[in-house]
Structure 1
C-alpha cells in the first residue's frame, strides 16, 4: 500500500516562486532554474558545490575555501569556540584572533565539521520495518531500524551516518559524512564588528556586520586536504546577479498540518517566548555585576536575544489570519482530493484526527516535558555533562538498537568529543542560570509538586544551585575521562554532587520522555508519514521537503525590496558602515576599523540582500555564482524571512550575507590577515570551474 502511494507521486509540480525551495541535491530543479535564470547546473557543478559545503555539528553551515582545509563560516557560529579559547587576560571575543602560522591555529574544543559524501534512499527499508505498526510499537521499530542502518554505515570514527526523515516520513535517506573532529580557529574579527548593530539591527537590513570567521580542519596533526573546495570569485556579485546558497537549513514547517501550526501559535511559541524573556532579564542583570560577568555572559545574551526576535517573528507570522487562512484552504483541498481517491482515503483514515488528539495530549504535557527532559529546569553546563555521563553509563551496555537515539554508536564519537575537551566553564554564570531554571521549575509545576519537592527539598533554587555548581569536580577533564572509562560502576560509586543530582532526577526525566514519545511523538510521526504519502499520491512531490538540518541548495538573485513604499537597496558599503558609526554600542566600530578608514574605497560592498530561500541553520552558508565561486557568506535574514518557517514570500523574503568583496577587503586592509588572503587568492587561481 505505501509503495503504491509513492508510485502515484512520481510527477513533480514545482512551486510558484522560482527562487522558493530548500532543495536536496538529488532533486535540484535544474530546468526550473534554467527557465527562470538562463543557467543549467550540470551534475559536475552540483557535485563540486555539494562537496565544498560543510556542516558544523553545533547547528551552522560552512564551506571549504582552499585545498588545505580552510573553512569559512560566521563568527556567531564559532563564538563558543572563541569563548572557550579566551580568558580574563586574553579576551579573544573582544579583540579578535588571527593565526600568523599553522602552529598558531588553536583547536576549538567542541567543534565538529561534516562533509556530505553520499546519499542513499532507505525508504523501503524503513517502511518494511514499521509495516502494520502504530503508536509506540511503530516508533520503537522505526528508531531501531534507523540505528541499525547508521551503525552498519559508520565504519570508523571518521565517518558519521544519519538516517534523515524527508517529506515528514514520505521518504528516508541515509546521509554519510566525512567527519573532522580536529577543527582549529584561524581568524575571527572582534565580537563588536561581527555583531555590529546589535539587537536593533538583528534581522534587519541595511546591515553593516562583518560576521566572518575562518577555521581549518586538521588530520593527523596536519592541515587536512580538501580537493573539493569553493574558490573565490574573480568578480564580485552585482545587483540582479544569479547566486546560489548551499547550506543546512535547520527546520521549517511548510508541510505541517493546520493543527500543528495552531499548536505552535497557541502553546509552544508563547511558552518559549516567556521563558526566553525572563532569561534575558536574568542575564542582563547578571552581566552588569562586573566586567568578568559581562565577558562570560555577552555571547549567551546575544543568543537569547536572537532567539527571542526570531521566535517573535514566527509567532507574528502565525498570528496573521491570512497565513493560516491559506493553510486551511490548502488542507481542505488536500482532504477533498483524498476523499476522491479510495486507496488514499483508506490509507489516511483518521490521520488528521489522531494528530489533533496527540497535540491536545502534548498541550497538557508540555510544561512537564520541557522542565524535566527538555532541559528548561536544568540549564547548566555542569548538569549537562553529568546527565550525559549518567546516560552513557546506562545506555552503552544495551544493544545499539535499543538505546536512546543520542547514545547510539553513530552518535557517540561526537558526544565523547564534547565530554573530553578542556573548554572552561564560567562557574558564576552556570550557577546563575541553574538557579534561574530551578526557580522556573517551582513556578511552573508548583511548590507542592512531588518532583519539585524531590528536587528542592528544603533548599531554595539559589542555595541548591550554589552547592551543586561549587561542589562538583566535573570541570576537570580527567575526572570526566575516569567516569566515562569506568562506566556504570564508576558513575554509581561517585559522590560528586552534580552527578548524584543528575542520577536522582533521571528516572522522572526518562518517564516523561517515554510518555511523550509513546503518546505524542509516535502519533505525530506515523500520521505525518501517512499525510505526507497522501500528499505525494494526489499532488506529486512539491519538489523539496521541509528543512531538517541537512544539506540543501537554492537559487536566487541579489535584489532589494519595497518596504511600505520605500525601496531597500540590495547592497550596503564600507562608507555606509562608517556613516552608521556613533561611537556608542552597539553602533561603535572597533579601533581596527577606525584606523583603517580610507584604506578601502567607500563604495566597496560590505553586506548584501538576496532572494535565496533560507532559515536558521543556513548561517555560514556560502553564496556562490554560476561558476561555483564564492561571492558571499550568509549570516542572517530580514524580518520578513522569519515567516519563512511556514511560507516563502518572494516579494519581501531576503537572505542577508557579507559580500565577497567586503570579506577580502577587510581581511587585507583592516586586519592585515595576509596569510588568509594569500591562501584564498592562490586557491582561486589554481581552481578549475566545474563543467556547466
Structure 2
C-alpha cells in the first residue's frame, strides 16, 4: 500500500539532514559556485565553462537532438545511454545479425558503423542578450510583444559573424525576462562503436523503469568524425576521428555516500516557479485525469499480453511508452503530496507578499486565471489522452488531418511519403480487435468524466465500456482504419500504396468512414468548447507568470535563481546518497552485480542475463573494477536535479572526473520537475566501474580502454 503520510509525519534521521537547498539546473555561465564548493567541489566554475580556453563544456554534447553525451578520449569517443543510441543500434540490426540482442563492438575504427542523420552539438559560447532582444518592447503585450521579440531575435542572429559550421540561436529564460544567445557547432559524422546486448543495456526494462534499486548497464559508445582540419563535415570515408579540446578522465575510485557529484547536460523541461494554485491543479486534477486514462488502457493490454505471447511481443514497446509517463505521473502526484509542495509554495508566496505587497495582485490574478481555466484544462487532459492510448482514434485523427490537407491543397508528394511511412509503422503492430477494447474503455471514461458541456452530441451513449465494444466492432466492419473496408482494391493492412493510388476516391471514402466521423465529432466539440478558451487563458497565465518570475527575483534577495530547463546546457549538483522514500523503507546508494544475478530470470525479456556475464560473475573475474566489498558496483543514486534530456549526461566528481552516466530518476522523486526536494529526489546513474568492466571483461574491447584516461 502506498503511504499517504505527509512530510511532517516522517521521522528523518540526523544523517538525512541536507545542506543542499534548491537543487537547480544552472546555466554554466551563472553557476551557484558557493553552494557547489560548500558541498565539496574542488574545481572552479571556470574549469566547467570557459569560452576562451578548454574546459569541461568542450566534452559535453547534445546527442541527436534529445539526449546528452560526453567525449571520453582524445579521439572523439562518445559515451551516452543505450536507450539514447537504441534507434541507431536497431537500424544496424537484422534477423541474421541482431545487434540489439547480441550487442556490438567494433574491433577497430574501420569497423565503426555510420549513422546518417545523427548529429552532436557542442556549445561554443553563451552570452546574455536581454537588452538587444527586449529593445523597443516597453508597453507591448500579447501578439505585439511576441512580434517585436521575434523581429529583434532575427536581427540579432543576422548580425552575428560566425564560422560556416556554426549557428546562433537565442533562448528565452525566466519566462521571457531574460534572453541568451548560444553559438553551436554541429558535427554530422557520428559512428556506432559499441553497445552491450539489451539484456545488459535494458536490464529490468519496463518493470524497473523509474524504480530503485536498478541494475541496468544503460550505455553505448559512438565516435565523432571530422574533416582533416578537425571541423564538422558530412559523412565521408576520408574523415578522421575528432580531436576534442577536452575529454573526460574516467575515475574508477570507490564512491562513498556524501561524495560530491555534478551532472552536466541538456535537461528538457521543468516548471519550478509555478504558483501554488498551478501545482494544486496538476496534483489534484490534470495528472490524475491522465493517469486514469492510462490505468484502463494498461489493464486491457496487460490482460491480453499475459495470455498471448505474440501480442506481448507486438505490444511491448507500446505498453512501455504508455506506462512510462503513467508511472512518472503517479510518482509525481505522490511526491508533491509527500513533500507538501502546495503548502510550501503558499508559505513562500505569503513571505514574498510580506516583503513586496504588489505581488498579492499577481498571485490573485494567477489564482483567478487558473481557477477559470481549470475545467477547460481538465477536458484538455482527458481529450489529449484519447489518441495517445487508443490507436484507432490516433489513426482516425491522422486520416482526418490528411483529408483536411488534401481539401486545402497543402498535401504534396513528400507529405504523402511521410504519411504512408507513419501509417505503416502503426499498422505493423496494430490489432484492431484489441484496440477496440482499449478504445471502448477510454471513450467510456471520457464520456463519464467530462462535464456535459464538453461532450459532442451522441457521445453520452458511450458511457458503458462493454456496450462500446459492440458498437466499435460494428463501426470497424465499414472502416478503412481497421483494414476491414476495401478502397481502391486494397485495405490499409494489405497494400498501403494501392489504397493511396486514387486519392480522390480515398478521400471520399474517408469522409464516410464511421470511425473518422466519430473522431471528428469528438474533435469538433473540443475545438468549439475548449481549445480557444484554454489557449487564451494560458496566454493570460503566461503574462502573469512572467511578472511573478520577475517579482520573485527582485524581492527574494536571499535566493539565487536558476532558469527552468529548456533543453539548453545546464549543470546540476548534489551528493551521492541513498534515500528513505516511505515509512520503514530505506534504500542504499548503490547496487552491485550480485543484484543482477538475484533478479535473473532465464529467457525473460526483461531479466535475462548473458551467459558470459554469468560466467564472469561465477568466476568473480572482476579485475580492477570491484570495489572494497569485492563486488562490481552497477548503479548509484545522488541528489542531482535531473529530468528528461539528461539521459546520457556525465556525472562528475569534485575534480571533474567522470564517475557515472545518468539515465533515470527514482520514482518517489519524479515531482522534481515541479518541486525539487533533496530529501526525495534522486537521479540514477551507471557506475563507471560497471561500464569499463563490461567493455573490458565482457566485450573484450580493450583497444577502447587504451584511448581513455582511467584514474584508478
TM-score range, shorter chain: 0.7 to 0.9
Preserved CA contact (<8 Å) 1:163 1:175: yes
**Pairing 1:236–2:253 present:** yes
Quote the Cα distance in structure 2 between the aligned partners of 1:335 and 1:635.
Answer: 39
Specify the alignment match of 1:630 in structure 2: 658
Tell me how far 1:134 sits from its aligned partner.
Answer: 3.9
User: Per-residue deviation at 1:86?
Assistant: 3.6
Q: 1:116 aligns with which of 116, 123, 139?
A: 123
Seen in structure 2, the aligned counterparts of structure 1 residues 588 and 515 have a Cα distance that, compared at 3 Å, is same
From 159, 172, 176, the counterpart of 1:165: 172
Q: Tell me what 1:255 maps to.
A: 273
CA contact 2:296–2:442 (8 Å) conserved in 1: no
**Taking structure 1 as reference, are residues 423 and 511 closer, same or farther at Cα in structure 2, changes over 3 Å only?**
closer
Distance 2:508 2:245 in 1: 47
CA distance in 1, matches of 2:477, 2:145: 40
Give 1:93 deviation, angstroms.
Answer: 2.8
Deviation readout 1:470-521 (Å, 9 max, x if unpaired): 8569999x99xx99xxxxxx99999799999999999969989972674133
Q: Distance in 2 between matches of 1:283 and 1:425?
A: 19
1:196 is matched with 203
Which residue does the alignment assign to 1:28?
Answer: 31
Q: Give the corresponding residue for 2:692.
A: 664
Is 1:56 matched up with 2:69?
no
SS of the counterpart of 1:429?
Answer: coil
1:271 to 250, 266, 289: 289
**Aligned residue number for residue 322 of structure 1:** 340
Asked whether the equivalents of residues 558 and 611 of structure 1 are also in contact (C-alpha less than 8 Å), the reply is yes
Contact 1:193 1:209 in 2 (8 A): yes
The answer on whether the counterparts of 2:366 and 2:541 sit within 8 Å (CA) in structure 1 is: no
2:551 matches 1:534: yes
Q: Deviations over 1:571-608 (max 9, x none)?
A: 32223333443536444322231233322255222222
Cα separation, partners in 2 of 1:210 and 1:333, compared to 1, 3 Å? same
Evaluate the alpha carbon distance shift between residue 361 and residue 60 of structure 1 in structure 2; reply closer, same or farther with a 3 A threshold. Answer: same
Which secondary structure state, in structure 1, belongs to the residue aligned with residue 685 of structure 2? strand
- 1:106-136: CA deviation from partner (whole Å, max 9, x where unpaired): 4456654332223232333454465434455
Aligned to 1:576: 595
Query: 1:518–1:314: structure 2 CA closer, same or farther, 3 Å change rule?
Result: closer
Aligned to 2:7: none
Alpha-carbon separation, structure 1, partners of 2:632 and 2:107: 26
Distance (whole Å) between structure 2 residues aligned to residue 307 and residue 345 of structure 1: 35
1:36 CA displacement: 3.0
Map 1:483-522 to 2 at 5 A: 515=532, 518-522=535-539
Corresponding position of 2:373: 359
Q: How far apart are the structure 1 equivalents of 2:161 and 2:126? A: 14
Taking structure 1 as reference, are residues 237 and 226 closer, same or farther at Cα in structure 2, changes over 3 Å only?
A: farther
* Residue from 636, 640, 647 that aligns with 1:619: 647
Give runs of aligned pairs for residues 61-460 of structure 1, distance below 5 A: 61-108=68-115, 111-128=118-135, 131-135=138-142, 137-138=144-145, 162-218=169-225, 219-222=233-236, 225-239=242-256, 240-284=258-302, 294-320=312-338, 322-339=340-357, 348=362, 351-353=365-367, 355-357=369-371, 359-360=373-374, 362-363=376-377, 365-367=379-381, 370=384, 425=425, 427-430=427-430, 442-443=443-444, 449=456, 459-460=475-476
- Contact between 1:243 and 1:558, CA under 8 Å: does it hold in 2? yes
CA distance in 1, matches of 2:246, 2:509: 48
1:684 counterpart residue number: 709
Pair 1:537–1:316, CA change in 2 (3 A): same
Distance change (3 Å), C-alpha of 1:381 and 1:127 = same
104-113 or 249-258, which deviates more: 104-113
Whether the aligned pair in 2 keeps the contact of 1:621 and 1:633 (CA below 8 Å) is yes
Offset of 1:653 from its aligned partner? 2.8
3-state SS of the aligned residue for 1:466? coil
CA distance in 2, matches of 1:152, 1:499: 50
Q: Which residue of 2 aligns with 1:45?
A: 48
Over 3 Å counting, the alpha-carbon distance change for 1:58 and 1:418 in structure 2 is: farther
SS at match of 1:243: strand
1:68 touches 1:226 (CA, 8 Å); kept in 2? yes
How far apart are 1:72 and its partner, in Å?
A: 1.3
TM-score of the aligned structures, taking structure 2 as reference length: 0.74
Q: Which residue of 2 aligns with 1:465?
A: 481
Are the aligned partners of 1:252 and 1:546 in contact in 2 as well (CA < 8 Å)? yes
Q: CA RMSD in A?
A: 4.9
Shift of 1:527: 1.2
The corresponding residue for 1:412 is none
Shift in CA distance, 17/109, structure 1 to aligned 2, threshold 3 Å: same
CA distance in 2, matches of 1:106, 1:382: 35
Deviation at 1:655, TM superposition (A): 1.9
Contact between 1:623 and 1:631, CA under 8 Å: does it hold in 2?
A: yes
Between 1:250-259 and 1:644-653, the stretch displaced more is 644-653
Kept after mapping to 2: 8 A contact 1:230/1:628: no
Q: Distance in 2 between matches of 1:475 and 1:326?
A: 58
Match of 2:14 in 1: none
Structure 2: distance between partners of 1:105 and 1:424: 30
Contact 2:388/2:394, CA 8 A, preserved across alignment? no
Q: Structure 1 residue 358: deviation in Å?
A: 5.4
| Shift of residue 328, structure 1, vs aligned partner | 1.2
C-alpha separation in 1, matches of 2:507 and 2:539: 37
Task: Structure 1 unaligned segments of length 5 or more: list them.
Answer: 1-14, 398-414, 484-489, 688-692
**655-664 vs 204-213, which moves further:** 204-213
SS in 1 for 2:707: helix
The one-character-per-residue Cα deviations of 1:269-288 (angstroms, maximum 9, x if unpaired) are 12221233334345546656
Q: Which runs of 5+ in 2 are unaligned?
A: 1-17, 226-232, 449-454, 462-471
Q: Distance in 1 between matches of 2:209 and 2:145?
A: 42
Deviation per residue, 1:74-119 (Å, 9 max, x gap): 1122333334444455443333233334454444566543322232
Contact 2:553 2:561 in 1 (8 A): no
Number of positions where the alignment pairs a residue of Structure 1 with one of Structure 2 = 638
Q: CA deviation at 1:570?
A: 2.4
> Aligned equivalents of 1:123 and 1:249: distance in 2?
22
Quote how far apart the aligned CAs of 1:450 are: 7.0
d(CA) in 2 for partners of 1:108 and 1:275?
37
How many angstroms apart in 2 are the aligned matches of 1:457 and 1:130? 57
Q: Structure 1 residues 358 and 317, CA, compared in 2 at 3 Å: closer, same or farther?
A: same
| Matching residue of 2:542 | 525
CA apart distance, 1:27: 0.8
Structure 1 partner of 2:612: 592
Contact kept in structure 1, 2:76 and 2:241, CA below 8 Å:
yes
Does the Cα contact within 8 Å between 2:636 and 2:687 map onto a contact in 1? Answer: yes
Task: Find out whether 1:639 has 2:670 as its counterpart.
Answer: no
Equivalent in the alignment of 2:465: none
Would the aligned equivalents of 1:604 and 1:661 in 2 still touch at CA under 8 Å? yes
Instruction: State the alpha-carbon separation in 1 of the partners of residues 483 and 158 from structure 2.
Output: 40
Q: Which whole-Å deviations, capped at 9, do the CAs of 1:149-206 have from their partners, x for residues lacking one?
A: 6687798996565543322333232334323455443322222322323444333333
Supply the distance in 1 between the matched residues of 2:616 and 2:610 (Cα, whole angstroms).
10
Secondary structure at the counterpart of residue 139 of structure 2: coil
Moved more, 181-190 or 209-218: 181-190
Contact 1:362 1:520 in 2 (8 A): no
- Aligned residue for 1:401? none
TM-score (norm 1): 0.76
The answer as to whether partners of 2:290 and 2:382 remain within 8 angstroms in 1 is: no
Once the two structures are TM-superposed, the CA of residue 245 in structure 1 deviates from its matched residue by: 0.8
